[in-house]
Structure 1
Amino acid sequence: MLWYELRELRTHGLKFRRQAPIGPYIVDFLCPSVRLVVEVDGDLHETGPGKRHDANRDAYLNSLGYVVLRIDEPDVTHSAWHVAQMVKEKAEHLIGDPSRPLRGHPPLKGEGNAGEQT
């Protein structure tokens, strides 16, 4: 349901990918132009192991310059449109933040200037 609503945000210049790979993870939704990851969390995310996994995953994504927005699954089920509007507001906020580079990605292992060690 959320995918259909996020796709409609193209009219606002926000293009999302579904099930996008970033490093060892596959994120639910990604808006690469503003480096926004949207994760829809079900019941498994509320367990101890689920919370630890999410914390590690979020730390990794944050280290690459991504902002992770976590949404509870019941919110999507109740009103995917409202969730998409919240995602749009977050993306617009990120666009207006001059301290964040919005395009590209940090060099991956093996990329970068010659002579640099990674």
Structure 2
Amino acid sequence: MRSRIEAADLVEAAAAFLKEAEGELSGRMAFHAKVAANALAIAVRELREQPDDVEAEALGALLPDVPRGERVAAACARIRSGAWTVETPGLLDALEAGVTARLAVDNPRFPTLQRLRGA
């Protein structure tokens, strides 16, 4: 059991409040409450899924000497130059891990997401 409240929990509570308040509002205010609640829901998923970290970690096996924050750019450069192709061992798995993490944030109801997560 967690003993402290995490940022994602606070943002999630604010989103829940806005969803509840939306029912009491009308017109433009209801629309803006819905947009704000949806934006906060995305922020919660970003905080929980941490796609940047997942992507950097997945590329770590291919780029162990590249600093974490530079791995995506380094991988893109290698792909663009042709140094890495679909035959590069581990590349497709690393790319799939990053895409899966980003998809969980951007479109968690995407039907293929469950397949990608191995469910």
- TM-score over 0.5 for the pair: no
Structure 1 or 2, whichever has the larger Rg, is: 2
Q: Kindly indicate which of the two structures has a greater share of residues assigned to strand.
A: 1
TM-score scaled by structure 1? 0.30
